[in-house]
Homo-oligomer: A and B are copies of this chain.
Amino acid sequence: MSVFTPPKRTLMGPGPSDVPERILEAMSQPTIGHFDPAFQGLMDDIKGLLKYAFRTENALTFPLSAPGSAGMECCFVNLLEPGDKAVVCRNGVFGGRMIENVERCGAIAVVVESDWGEPVDPGLLEETLKDHPDAKLVAFVQAETSTGVSSDAKTLCRIAREHDCLTVVDAVTSLGGTPLEVDKWGIDAVYSGSQKCLSCPPGLSPVSFSERALDAIRNRKTKVQSWFLDLSLVMDYWDGAGGRTYHHTAPVNAMYGLHESLCILKEEGLEEAWARHRTMHEKLRDGLEDMGLELLVKPDYRLPQLNTVKIPDHVTDEAALRKRLLEEFNLEIGAGLGALAGKVWRLGLMGHSARQENVELCLGALRRVLN
């Protein structure tokens, strides 16, 4: 077997995003044991930095040792018990995945449907909660990666609270890219991914849980159906107070990388990172519109970090165009997903990918292949 040497790509799809050299170097440092005192220190630092990124004081804030889809599952299996009712807002692929998760917990999913490309409708959520006063939680995706739509997390959380529901928020694509205020908005459970606006390789899912969420977990009548994701066990592994308890073995080197990425985020400043994503989005948007391309999502609720572009009518084989971008320009952009497959491209400007040179490369390459 020969050593695998990956091509050098520019990553402007829906994730992973470009990983800075600093993070790759951090990840290649020697592996240490997961009970090494030095690793304990790293875990504490990561927890502190994640609190900064999530804007929370939640004690239970840490990266789960698995990708974002496990982070989603972790929220539902811990907060739901068989027979519970959950209101799930669906306006794209990931809301649909939430419904799957709810049902696999033996719980009942009440679905608030919005069109793909539209945000979750707060009025519809309110009506649904009036019809279902026994709902235990409300779940929605803040930044729908499948459509490029931002939903109004602050308002949705307020409505959920008014109806005494816990909230589960998918922040996979928002964390580090657009405003997310876990404490101010009263979010109870939130999960993200390492490979989007944090610019790490994929594999980790930062999560955070409020005291209200922990109360719900403490008051469970049944065991969490997943041993691996059972927070009552995982928190004893991540909590340094009184000694950590063995649960699983954390992905040590991936943690080095996440730590470095969070240091980079703090050096830049969270609000400065949000502003950079917005600025780069505006440059990309202007260039796309100059070329006569149209964005799927209305300006009011467009995600700066995930730009969904309608594929022009004259393009008969969009996959061939993406292949040319990859082969001739080493540029990866994203295909449409689900109902939008073949209809849109998804141009990611996430984390380290939200840079002037990426915007120029993307616009230049698109100009070439569309002519």
Binding site for B on A (CB under 8 A): 1-9, 11, 13, 15-16, 18-19, 22, 24-39, 42, 45, 49, 65-70, 73, 97, 100-101, 103-105, 193, 195, 201-203, 223-228, 246-254, 256-257, 259-260, 262-263, 266-267, 326, 332, 337
The answer for the CA separation of A65 and B204 in the assembled complex, in Å, is 10
Closest 5 CB pairs of A and B: A203-B251, A28-B28, A201-B253, A66-B66, A69-B248
Residues of B within 8 A of A24 (CB): 28-31, 253
Contact (Cβ within 8 A) B9 A26: no
Chain B CB within 10 A, most for which of A31, A32, A195, A263? A31
Apart from the given pairs A6-B38, A7-B38, A251-B254, 13 other A-B contacts in the complex at a CB distance below 8 Å: A1-B45, A1-B49, A4-B42, A7-B36, A9-B36, A13-B35, A27-B27, A28-B28, A69-B247, A70-B248, A103-B223, A225-B225, A253-B254
Residues of B within 8 A of A332 (CB): 32-33, 36
The answer for the CA separation of A210 and B148 in the assembled complex, in Å, is 41
Contact (Cβ within 8 A) A34 B69: no
Contact (Cβ within 8 A) A69 B227: yes
Contact (Cβ within 8 A) A254 B254: yes
Contact (Cβ within 8 A) B202 A252: yes
- Given A31-B19, A33-B16, A246-B337: A67 and B202 within 8 A (CB)? no
Q: From the candidates B34, B227, B247, B254, name the one contacting A73 in the complex (CB within 8 A).
A: B227
Contact (Cβ within 8 A) A67 B67: no
Contact (Cβ within 8 A) B49 A30: no
- Given A1-B266, A27-B27, A31-B11: A67 and B251 within 8 A (CB)? yes
Q: From the candidates B34, B201, B224, name the one contacting A202 in the complex (CB within 8 A).
A: B34
The answer for the CA separation of A42 and B7 in the assembled complex, in Å, is 12
The answer for the CA separation of A361 and B211 in the assembled complex, in Å, is 47
Contact (Cβ within 8 A) A28 B27: yes
Residues of B within 8 A of A13 (CB): 33, 35
Contact (Cβ within 8 A) A8 B33: no
Q: List 11 A-B contacts (CB under 8 A).
A: A2-B263, A3-B26, A4-B42, A6-B39, A7-B32, A13-B35, A67-B250, A69-B249, A103-B223, A201-B253, A251-B254
- Given A15-B249, A251-B203: A6 and B29 within 8 A (CB)? yes
Contact (Cβ within 8 A) A31 B66: no
The answer for the CA separation of A9 and B228 in the assembled complex, in Å, is 28
- Given A252-B201, A254-B203: A3 and B260 within 8 A (CB)? yes
CB of A112 to closest CB in B, whole Å: 20
Residue of B nearest to A253 (CB): B201
Residues of B within 8 A of A70 (CB): 66, 70, 228, 248
CB of A5 to closest CB in B, whole Å: 7
Residues of B within 8 A of A37 (CB): 326
- Given A30-B8, A67-B251, A259-B4: A36 and B201 within 8 A (CB)? no
Residues of B within 8 A of A223 (CB): 103-104
Residues of B within 8 A of A33 (CB): 9, 11, 13, 16, 332
